[in-house]
């Protein structure tokens, strides 16, 4: 029953937010986000002790086809729910300074999206998963479309529309996959689907039906073409939602639904996916080096990072799984920090063009310190959270194939190249007319960075707790995936 | 049985009211009357009975579809009051024709005999010919009426030829006896040919490709309310009749025509969707999208040997209420801006947020996005098609639903991202009521589809 409250809190607060009017919407939304985070923390205890039993809730929903409203919270889901419920209020908080048109709609859409995201991470019925998966898409579509800041509205509409159609296309194939499974298994419940015995050929078809949906969402090369423009054109809060949380839906989907349900299909296509993923890592990094637009650079870097996460998942090794889980958690915080820094720069200088910036450190030392911390976390410096993840991921890939690991390992070098080059051009050097009046961080902005820095070092120095929480669920998934 | 008789009587009453000078009362009487008939219809639930030597057969299938058609009829009647406000002297004529059309539609879902089936088709069609051409001084409306009449009577002729051939083979118009014949005797060439002609006639009536060419012009030229009527009541009734006819006595011939039906379904979906992409006119876009919806429904007919009545019914409900919501908003917008183009919706999101939200929900429902009714409609149809072995067709249909998203969202984009200087729109209470009820139903059925999905 508590699970239901956790899931529906954002929805209830979305309604309150809408009713509270433009003036108070921000505060109500923030309170809603915070309340959901508190509700989430209440579930922490059993997972801290490494408990294997998920907390579940089930209620009959639709009789024919048999679909139940069943939720399940295990260690893996808990980490993602915690990530979501932590980041959403933080993202709401980052907008405190902006005057947002029609704020009540904006913030209720953010909370509505949180509702969809929580549903995706909690659902233990395939159909329910699909419904929440789509539900999370509609709010972000409107957020990106209506509150994007770029001047060229026609371009923005095209970019966002491409994103919408692309992801919807992927998910419709997933729906076909679920229908196909239902015809063969007679149930949508995750346990029945895990126990399904399908022929290799059927699993191969299923693999593509699901993989398309997840690969587009993550995005994996070559399904990524919607991503850079969408990240750039969305308002910063939207980009943070997309990169920080939404793409985890895809990785979570791979782990929770694709690998255990169609292990033979996965085994068949693993080499291809790994090659795609590694190409994505290199390709994203190389393009990131050439970018002049800060948000686009971050978009490509995020694309490169998730390529490595995908590779880790598909190695089907314990380390690969651990790395993927740790890294998707870490990536959530780091990417939000990076896009927040970009937002601050955009607000104060009015540009994101790296070549026009420079010397910000001279006028804003606090900002420079915070920014470098996030940049270093993102290039996986030891003691930061991303280091653990990236190390485990590369170890996993190494176990699968040495050469592949060698190529994927270039990400560390390339990542350092584009991130530090960006930092150097933006923050160091001579102060110019654009950056001369750069105002340093105020306490509210500091607070956001403090939260993110705590996350970076807490999970970088003591990853054990988080890994213990997820380990039972990951082992279970690994067992099913190696059937 | 009561449903059909009372509806016809209500139509007559509307005509008589003109003589008794009760013009002001006629609209409330019609709406109330239809509501009462809806109640009688619900009371027939669970009965299985034939009347007049099985001319009319009442079963759950007919009751369910009658209920849907009556509901849509009530919506249309409510909208009619304001729509014809400039022609107050003729309101009783219009209402009478609308209700006669409805009685034809009701006959189409409850026939037990070919004669009754043909009668239903003709009552429905002839009334619609008049409604399509009812704007006497508008060239487009005249064209629509004429085109619809010529094409429609041609189709009726082919249909009648088919019925004659069936009669020649089986010696009966009665569906039960035809079914008995097909069970006893291997169907002859003439029988199969007859079924083929009926098939062509029906494909014509439901505007499936390649027999769809009349639909866009007729839909665009007719007064918008008539378009709404044709797109919902007429199309759903024709589909219900199509399903009833083929599932009750022509099931043996389905294999002979399976490839034709498959090809027609694919063609209909593709042509409908891809032509809708480039339309500027909202009505024309809905006309083409209606063609593609007919294609999805054909998937249900194609797999009817697996008893897909539930899926077809649910899809019809979802399509019907979403279309009524979309058309009523289109009428409101067109009355205010004088334009039926998609640009007319510009800036609606700022001026009338609730109306824009309602249209967004209707569009998302038609595009088949959860958690709206249209999603489950598509879901049920697709899963029946897969269950009956049409995986390839379903994949084509799925790809096309993605194309569908594109043009449905075009309207949403226009509402939210573009501005216009048109004055603020005034909304009549009848329209608010219809739109609110439709949106509530779309949400209700999207969240609790079980309410209707196991009815039949």
Residues B297, B233, single domain; the answer is no
Residues B11, B40, single domain; the answer is yes
Would you say residue B379 has pLDDT above 70?
Answer: yes
Phi-psi region of B21 (alpha: psi -120 to 50; beta: other; left: phi over 0): left
- Check residue A50 and give its pLDDT: 63
Q: How many CB pairs under 8 A join A and B?
A: 66
Residues B152, B61, single domain; the answer is yes
Residues B262, B293, single domain; the answer is yes
Residues B426, B298, single domain; the answer is yes
Would you say residue A165 has pLDDT above 70?
Answer: yes
A134:B370 CB<8 A: yes
Per-residue pLDDT averaged across A12-17, rounded? 89
Of B218, B249, B280, the residue at which a domain comes to its end is: B249
B450 touches chain A (CB under 8 A): yes
Per-residue pLDDT of B73-124, as tens digits, reads 999 999 988 887 777 777 888 888 999 999 999 999 999 899 999 999 999 9
Would you say residue A47 has pLDDT above 80?
Answer: no
Residues B282, B168, single domain; the answer is no
Per-residue pLDDT averaged across B423-444, rounded? 88
- Check residue B167 and give its pLDDT: 92
Query: Between residues 115 and 174 of chain A, which touch chain B (CB distance below 8 Å)?
Result: 130-131, 134-135, 138, 142, 145-146, 153, 157, 161, 164-165, 168-169, 172-173
B394 neighbors B299 (Cβ within 8 angstroms): yes
- Check residue B82 and give its pLDDT: 80
Residues B127, B228, single domain; the answer is yes
The whole-angstrom separation of Cα B102 and Cα B183 is 34
DSSP A54: P
Residues B243, B259, single domain; the answer is no
- Other C-beta atoms closer than 10 Å to the C-beta of B420 total 15
A226 touches chain B (CB under 8 A): no
Number of structural domains found in chain B = 2
Of B200, B222, B249, the residue at which a domain comes to its end is: B249
Phi-psi region of A50 (alpha: psi -120 to 50; beta: other; left: phi over 0): left
Residues B368, B292, single domain; the answer is yes
DSSP reduced 3-state for A55 = strand
Of B249, B282, B304, the residue at which a domain comes to its end is: B249
- Check residue A151 and give its pLDDT: 67
Per-residue pLDDT averaged across A142-150, rounded? 82
Nearest to B450 by CA among A60, A86, A393, A216: A60
- Other C-beta atoms closer than 10 Å to the C-beta of B307 total 12
* Domain extent at residue B377: 250-456
B307 touches chain A (CB under 8 A): no
Q: Both tokens of residue B255? A: 């294999």
The whole-angstrom separation of Cα A432 and Cα A357 is 7
- Check residue A353 and give its pLDDT: 84
A305 neighbors A280 (Cβ within 8 angstroms): no
Residues B85, B199, single domain; the answer is yes
Per-residue pLDDT of B336-365, as tens digits, reads 887 888 888 888 888 888 888 999 999 999
B257 neighbors B196 (Cβ within 8 angstroms): yes
- Check residue B104 and give its pLDDT: 93
* Percent of residues, chain B, with pLDDT higher than 90: 33
For residue A447, give the H/E element and its range. helix A443-461
Average pLDDT, rounded, for chain B: 88
Q: Is the ipTM of this structure higher than 0.85? A: no
Residues B323, B443, single domain; the answer is yes
Lowest-confidence segment of A58-67, A175-184, A235-244, A297-306 by average pLDDT = A58-67
CA distance B241 to chain A (A): 25
For every residue of chain B, which 3-state class applies, written as one string?
CHHHHHHHHHHHHHHHHHHCCCHHHHHHHHHHHHHHHHHHHHHCCCCCEEECCCCEEECHHHHHHHHHHHHHHHHHHHHHHHHCHHHHHHHHHHHHHHHHHHHHHHHHHHECEHHHHHHHHHHHHHHHHHHHCCCCCCHHHHHHHHHHHHHHHHHHHHHHHHHHHHHHHHCCCEHHHHHHHHHHCCCCHHHHHHHHHHHHHHHHHCCCCCCCCHHHHHHHHCCHHHHHHHHHHHHHHHHHHHHHHHHHCCHHHHHHHHHHHHHHHHHHHHHHHHHHCCCCEHHHHHHHHHHHHHHHHHHHHHCHHHCCHHHHHHHHHHHHHHHHHHHHHHHHHHHHHCCCEHHHHCCHHHHCHHHHHHHHHHHHHHHCCCCCHHHHHHHHHHHHHHHCCCHHHHHHHHHHHHHHHHHHHHHHHHHHHCCCCCCCCCCCHHHHHHHHHHHHHHHHHHHCCHHHHCCC
For residue A57, give the H/E element and its range. strand A55-57
Chain A residues whose beta carbon lies within 8 Å of the beta carbon of residue B387:
183
Residues B212, B267, single domain; the answer is no
Q: Both tokens of residue B303? A: 């797999």
CA distance A156 to chain B (A): 10
Give the HSE-up count for residue B156: Cα atoms under 13 Å, Cβ half-sphere.
17
Would you say residue A70 has pLDDT above 80?
Answer: yes
A145:B450 CB<8 A: no
Q: Predicted confidence band at B142 (pLDDT cuts at 50, 70, 90)?
A: confident
Per-residue pLDDT averaged across A239-243, rounded? 89
Would you say residue A51 has pLDDT above 70?
Answer: no
A357 neighbors A431 (Cβ within 8 angstroms): no
Which residues neighbour A462 within 8 Å (Cβ) at sequence distance 6 or greater? none
**Torsions phi, psi of A293, nearest 5?**
-85, 125
Would you say residue B25 has pLDDT above 90?
Answer: no
């Amino acid at each position: 029953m508590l699970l239901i409250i956790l899931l529906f809190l954002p929805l209830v607060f979305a309604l309150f937010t809408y009713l509270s009017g433009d003036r108070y919407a921000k505060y109500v939304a923030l309170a809603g986000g915070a309340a959901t985070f508190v509700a989430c923390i209440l579930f922490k205890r059993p997972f801290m002790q490494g408990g294997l039993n998920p907390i579940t809730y089930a209620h009959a929903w639709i009789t024919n086809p048999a679909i139940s409203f069943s939720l399940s919270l295990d260690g893996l889901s808990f980490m993602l729910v915690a990530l979501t419920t932590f980041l959403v209020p933080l993202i709401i908080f980052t907008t405190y300074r902006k005057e947002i048109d029609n704020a009540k709609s904006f913030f209720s859409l953010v909370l509505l999206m949180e509702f969809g995201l929580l549903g995706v991470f909690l659902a233990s019925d395939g159909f329910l998963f699909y419904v929440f998966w789509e539900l999370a898409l509609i709010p972000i579509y409107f957020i990106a479309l209506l509150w994007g800041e770029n001047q060229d509205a026609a371009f923005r509409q095209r970019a966002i529309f491409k994103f919408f159609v692309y992801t919807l296309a992927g998910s419709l194939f997933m729906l076909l996959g679920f229908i196909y499974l239902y015809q063969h298994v007679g149930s949508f419940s995750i346990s029945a689907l895990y126990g399904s015995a399908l022929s290799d050929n059927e699993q191969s078809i299923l693999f593509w039906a699901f993989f398309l949906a997840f690969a587009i969402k993550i995005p994996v090369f070559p399904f990524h073409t919607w991503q850079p423009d969408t990240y750039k054109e969305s308002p910063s809060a939207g980009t943070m939602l997309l990169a920080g949380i939404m793409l985890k839906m895809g990785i979570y989907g791979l782990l929770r639904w694709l690998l255990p349900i169609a292990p033979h299909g996965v085994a068949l296509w693993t080499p291809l996916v790994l090659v795609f993923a590694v190409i994505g890592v290199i390709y994203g990094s190389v393009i990131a080096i050439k970018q002049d637009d800060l948000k686009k650079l971050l978009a490509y870097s995020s694309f490169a990072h998730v390529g490595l996460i995908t590779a880790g998942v598909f190695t089907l090794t314990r380390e690969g799984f651990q790395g993927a889980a740790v890294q998707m958690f870490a990536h959530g915080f780091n990417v939000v920090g990076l896009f927040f820094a970009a937002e601050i720069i955009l607000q104060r200088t009015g540009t994101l063009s790296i070549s026009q910036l420079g010397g910000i450190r001279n006028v804003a030392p606090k900002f420079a310190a915070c920014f470098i911390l996030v940049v270093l976390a993102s290039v996986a410096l030891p003691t930061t959270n991303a280091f653990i993840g990236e190390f485990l991921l590369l170890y996993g890939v190494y176990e699968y194939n040495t050469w592949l690991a060698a190529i994927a390992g270039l990400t560390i070098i390339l990542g350092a190249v584009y991130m530090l080059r960006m930092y150097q051009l933006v923050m160091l050097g001579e102060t110019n007319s654009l950056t001369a009046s750069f105002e340093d961080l105020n306490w509210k902005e500091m607070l956001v960075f403090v939260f993110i820095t705590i996350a970076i070092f807490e999970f970088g120095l003591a990853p054990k707790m988080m890994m213990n929480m997820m380990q039972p669920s990951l082992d279970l998934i690994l067992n099913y995936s190696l059937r | 049985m009561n449903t059909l008789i009372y509806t016809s009587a209500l139509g007559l009453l509307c005509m008589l009211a003109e003589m008794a000078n009760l013009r002001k009362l006629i609209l409330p009487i019609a709406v109330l009357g239809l509501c009462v008939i809806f109640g009688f219809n619900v009371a027939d639930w669970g009965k299985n009975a034939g009347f007049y030597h099985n001319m009319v057969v009442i079963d759950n299938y007919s009751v369910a579809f009658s209920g849907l058609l009556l509901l849509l009829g009530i919506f249309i009647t409510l909208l009619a009051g304001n729509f014809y406000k400039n022609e107050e002297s003729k309101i009783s004529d219009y209402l009478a024709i609308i209700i006669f059309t409805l009685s034809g539609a009701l006959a189409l879902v409850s026939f037990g005999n070919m004669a009754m089936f043909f009668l239903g088709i003709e009552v429905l069609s002839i009334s619609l010919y008049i409604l399509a051409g009812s704007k006497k001084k508008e060239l487009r409306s005249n064209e629509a009426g004429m085109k619809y009449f010529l094409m429609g009577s041609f189709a009726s002729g082919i249909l009648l030829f088919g019925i004659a051939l069936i009669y020649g083979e089986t010696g009966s118009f009665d569906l039960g006896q035809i079914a008995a014949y097909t069970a006893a005797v291997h169907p002859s060439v003439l029988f199969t040919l007859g079924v083929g002609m009926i098939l062509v006639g029906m494909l014509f009536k439901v505007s499936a490709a390649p027999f769809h060419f009349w639909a866009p012009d007729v839909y665009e030229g007719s007064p918008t309310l008539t378009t709404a009527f044709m797109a919902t009541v007429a199309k759903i009734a024709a589909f219900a009749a199509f399903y009833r006819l083929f599932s009750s006595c022509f099931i043996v011939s389905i294999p002979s025509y399976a490839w034709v039906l498959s090809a027609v379904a694919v063609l209909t979906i593709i042509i409908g969707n891809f032509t809708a992409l480039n339309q500027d006119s909202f009505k024309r876009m809905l006309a083409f999208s209606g063609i593609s919806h007919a294609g999805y429904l054909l998937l249900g007919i194609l797999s009817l040997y697996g008893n897909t009545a539930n899926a077809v019914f649910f899809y019809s409900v979802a399509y019907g209420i979403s279309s009524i919501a979309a058309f009523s908003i289109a009428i409101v917008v067109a009355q205010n801006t004088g334009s039926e183009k998609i640009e007319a919706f510009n800036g609606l999101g700022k001026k009338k947020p609730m109306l824009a939200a309602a249209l967004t929900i209707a569009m998302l429902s038609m595009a088949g996005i959860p958690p709206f009714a249209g999603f489950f409609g598509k879901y049920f149809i697709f899963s029946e098609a897969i269950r009956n072995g049409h995986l390839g067709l379903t994949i084509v249909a799925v790809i096309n639903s993605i194309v569908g998203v594109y043009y449905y969202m075009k309207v949403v984009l226009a509402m939210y991202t573009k501005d216009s200087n048109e004055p603020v729109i005034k909304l009549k209470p009848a329209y608010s009521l219809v739109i609110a009820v439709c949106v509530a139903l779309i949400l209700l059925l999207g969240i609790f589809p079980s309410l209707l999905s196991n009815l039949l």
